[in-house]
Amino acid sequence: MSSNETHFDLIVIGGGASGLMAAGRAAERGLRVLLLEKNKKLAEKLRISGGGRCNITNAEHDLRVLLGAYGKAEKFLYSLFSKFGVRDTFSFFESRGLPLVVQARKRAFPQTERAEDVVSVLEKYVRDGGVTIQTDSPVTRVRGTHSGITSVTSKKNTYSAEHYLFSTGSMSHPETGSTGDGFKWLKELGHTVLPATPTIVPLATKDEWSKKIAGVSLSFMKITFFVEGKKAFSKTGKLLFTHFGLSGPLILNSAHDVANLLHEGAVTATIDAYPDTDLGALDNHIVAVFDMHKNKELKNIVGELAPDGIGKGLIVLLGEVLDISKKVHSVSKEERKHIVRLVKALPVTVTGLMGFDRAVVADGGVALEEIDMRTMRSKRVQNLYVTGDLLHINRPSGGFSLQLCWSTGYVAGSSVGAK
């Protein structure tokens, strides 16, 4: 490769969602762009996002409501999202032949529900722009100081550019290449980098009853968390029981707050299987079930006392406190009341958060005060831009993470080299 083939207007390190968007946009503006990706294929994490369906954005069109989901980062994001927001994401993909559909909780997916189709659109975007793509090219060294980066070295070559963009992701799903490389380089260049913790992540629990029903998913559950026996907070939503504990949107969107509780003491929770039914109405329902099956053994009708799929777990819990082989007509009033209270407060003991390998999103990254969020340019390193998960922004599941990638990537690609 000759010397002029190793110097570019922009070098993008990281071929994920924000990196592809930034590289494509910069090339669209006429810049010579090199994209360096450590994996053999681009966008490995994007390919598995949303369980392979790719929750591409959240179709919340009220900007204040949308940005409220990003917590303390909200005040930094108005300019960014006004330049490339949710409507722009819809236009970008739909104008390139990938219609989007909006499902529950305003989550938007490609109509095909295939993450691979999202990757295909982005790959075409960068290739049509003439981006030079080097896959299987992990960057091993970044040379420079706070005054500017001078070159980067991959296992294939050393390259230089007028501008550089880091889009290496944080530390969730390390098997896709997100191993914190960008955090290390940013620290070395003088940035304040907050440590990463898995924030949108399942919870590990120790309860045998819940593991008995691994794989069961229920769409309307209420979970209430306690720390040292004192109520902390409640949330309602879709819950998935797993062999290691609890997952699903309800849990993923509670994990950040649970992580804070774990620093304060022992964390327990109760799951209300009928959040819209009070104790009296539920008792009446169970009385009616008992009347229909009075001569059956209790263990054989447990499945009718709780939502579909919970029966096996409920049998474990009931078996700890009463004889489940007794006939229904022999169940005392107090025992029946116990069943009612149990179904409204299934007990859970949280032992911790699952690690980065199961995290949908990890927080940590560059303090936003050190980035010009109107352009995504570093305030510390004059020729560096930073996008996506390298920014310290907490956000829930539901399309908010990818929208952040599209917005930061497009705005950075639009800003590089602009006067």
In contact, 177 and 45? CB cutoff 8 Å: yes
Count of C-beta atoms within a 10 Å radius of residue 110: 22
Helices (H), 212-294: 249-252, 255-262, 279-292
Q: For residue 360, what pLDDT is reported? A: 57
Report residue 368 CA to chain centroid gap. Answer: 19
Mean pLDDT of 96-115: 94
Dihedral sign, Cα of residue 116, residue 120, residue 126, residue 130: positive
Nearest to 256 by CA among 82, 157, 144, 397: 397
Task: State the Cα–Cα distance between residues 419 and 83, nearest whole angstrom.
Answer: 17
- Structural domains of the chain sorted by starting position, each given as residue range(s) with its CATH number in brackets: 3-197+363-415 (3.50.50.60), 202-354 (no CATH)
Mean pLDDT across the chain: 91
Q: For residue 357, what pLDDT is reported? A: 63
Q: For residue 269, what pLDDT is reported? A: 97
Output 3 or 196, whichever has higher pLDDT. Answer: 196
Report residue 3 CA to chain centroid gap. Answer: 41
Nearest to 402 by CA among 414, 387, 385, 412: 387
pLDDT over 70 for what percent of the chain? 93
Q: In this model, does residue 103 exceed pLDDT 80?
A: yes
DSSP state of 195: P
Q: For residue 174, what pLDDT is reported? A: 44
- pLDDT tens digits for range 282-291: 999 999 999 9
Mean pLDDT of 359-384: 88
Long-range contacts, stretch 119-124, CB < 8 angstroms, 24+ apart: 119/42, 119/43, 119/46, 119/47, 121/93, 121/96, 121/97, 122/17, 122/20, 122/21, 122/24, 122/42, 122/43, 122/46, 123/20, 123/42, 123/43, 124/96
- pLDDT tens digits for range 57-84: 999 999 999 999 888 899 999 999 999 9
- pLDDT tens digits for range 209-250: 999 999 999 988 999 999 989 999 999 999 999 999 999 889
Q: In this model, does residue 5 exceed pLDDT 60?
A: yes
Provide the terminal-to-terminal Cα distance of the chain, rounded to the nearest Å: 31
Torsional class of 255: left (φ above 0), alpha (ψ -120 to 50), beta (otherwise):
alpha
In contact, 221 and 236? CB cutoff 8 Å: yes
In contact, 205 and 351? CB cutoff 8 Å: yes
Whole-structure pTM value: 0.71
What are the E-state strand segments in 75-216? 100-102, 107-110, 132-134, 139-145, 148-154, 158-166, 193-194, 198-200, 203-205
Pairing of strands 245-247, 361-362: unpaired
Exposed, middle or buried by CB within 10 Å (0-12, 13-18, 19+), for 325?
exposed
Give the pLDDT band of residue 259 (cuts 50, 70, 90): confident
The DSSP-derived string for 322-364 is S-TTSBGGG--HHHHHHHHHHHHSEEEEEEEE--GGG-SEE--
Q: Which two tokens stand for residue 213?
A: 């029903």
